[in-house]
Chains A and B, each alone.
Chain A
């Protein structure tokens, strides 16, 4: 992984560098990660209200700032068991895109609702929270704790929780 320091390795043995595994190999260490960019296009971008006041405070930005550190290395995508072991590319966007979705959903000025997409097309519930994505992220983004779990809880709040559904039916919201 690109976080590994050479001085942490036993240099009496050869150091072997492999290409990432979840995407097709083109040549040497180069893989075809174009699938990720296709997924990215499906996500509804930043949608502020027409009359948005774009002056806001650092503390409003704090929570989403972490997600902007992503360098799209796709290490999280390659280690994620849903893509890597279960071949879930047709029903799961992968951790990198939960980072993007969380950044949009938690943005104080964004008004779009992506919860249905997060549940269905993005398949957030296929994630089993094993934190492999967090472990490998070179930018130290807490992908599971700060992006995926809050997204799951938002979907549960709005779409799955039967008690909240009954409560909303009663109060009419």
Chain B
């Protein structure tokens, strides 16, 4: 079989594109980067300011307080939504571009290697655990809804506090902004899914 010559292998960020192709990966770097800093501070550093009245920081729900754990209780929970988001097909596509420059944008040269193994070798083969994180996230979702409903009760009355409008279960819901749906449930043997 004749082997095509690849013409595009000429260094970093080479392209004929004349649009602002760099804007999207830049926004991902800034947005995801800031969120990573905010959530780390919120979950790990400020680990004694997570509860007020019926309100609980979404990073800590469901609250697990056990004697043998001497760090922030958020860590016992956050690995589930974190694993779900990190392995999510939608996010993978976005952060491979922004953080791994693979490629930085469509038709822009970035990381180039003949030994590229994608998601078939360690560590990226672990991305295929997304289905497990989905199931765990669905369980967590139920607990988050319970917490959200509980937080509507204050002093025996139903109400909603200012600043408490974010739906907690959106944190892991497969239907929340970003992913295009639980594809791992659809991709297997279910036939009619995209109608």
Enumerate chain A interface residues (CB-CB to B < 8 A): 16, 18, 21-25, 32, 34-35, 38-39, 59-60, 62-63, 79, 81-90, 106, 108, 119, 123, 125-132, 135-136, 142, 144-146, 149-154, 156-157, 160-161, 163
A106 in contact with B191 given A38-B1, A153-B183 (CB within 8 Å): yes
Return chain B residues, CB-CB under 8 Å to A106.
Answer: 191
Residue from A90, A128, A146 within 8 A of B96 (CB atoms):
A128
- Is there a chain A Cβ closer than 8 Å to B9's Cβ? yes
Contact status B89-A149, CB under 8 Å: yes
- Residue contacts A-B, CB under 8 angstroms, 24 given: A16-B16, A21-B8, A22-B6, A22-B8, A24-B4, A32-B2, A35-B1, A38-B2, A62-B192, A63-B191, A63-B192, A81-B103, A85-B109, A90-B3, A126-B120, A128-B96, A129-B96, A135-B106, A149-B183, A152-B187, A153-B183, A153-B186, A154-B189, A156-B184
Given A35-B3, A126-B116, A130-B97, decide whether A153 and B8 contact each other with a Cβ distance below 8 A: no
Best-buried of A23, A34, A129, A131 by chain B (most CB within 10 Å): A129
Contacting residues, chain A, for B110 (C-beta < 8 A): 81, 85
Of the residues B112, B117, B183, contact of A85 by C-beta under 8 Å: B112
B14 to chain A, nearest CB (A): 10
User: In the complex, are the beta carbons of B111 and A131 less than 8 A apart?
Assistant: no
Interface string of B126-164 (1 = CB under 8 A from A): 001001100000000000000000000000000000000
Asked if B195 CB lies within 8 Å of chain A CBs, one says yes
**A145 pairs with B102, CB closer than 8 A:** no
CB closest residue in chain A, given B185: A153
* A132-B183 contact, Cβ under 8 Å, with A22-B8, A126-B116: no
Tell me which residues across on chain B come within 8 A of A81, comparing CB atoms.
102-103, 110
Chain B, range 157-195, C-beta contacts under 8 Å to A: 180, 183-184, 186-189, 191-195
B113 at the interface (CB under 8 A from A): yes
B-chain residues with CB within 8 Å of residue A125 when the two chains form the complex: 118-120, 125, 128
Contact of A89 among B4, B92, B124, B131 (CB under 8 A): B4
**Does residue B46 face the partner (Cβ distance < 8 Å to A)?**
no
Chain B 84-102, CB within 8 Å of chain A: the 1/0 string? 0000010011001100001
Size of B's binding interface in residues, CB under 8 A: 47
A82 to B93, CA, bound (A): 14
Q: Which residues of chain B have a CB within 8 Å of any CB of chain A?
A: 1-9, 16, 89, 92-93, 96-97, 102-103, 106-107, 109-114, 116-120, 124-125, 128, 131-132, 180, 183-184, 186-189, 191-195
Specify which of A16, A35, A62, A163 is in contact with B2 (CB 8 Å cutoff). Answer: A35
* A interface, over-half SS: helix
Distance in Å: Cβ of A144 to nearest Cβ of chain B: 8
Residues of B within 8 A of A21 (CB): 6-8, 107
Assembled-state Cα–Cα distance A36/B97 (Å): 26
A154–B67 Cα gap in the complex (Å)? Answer: 43
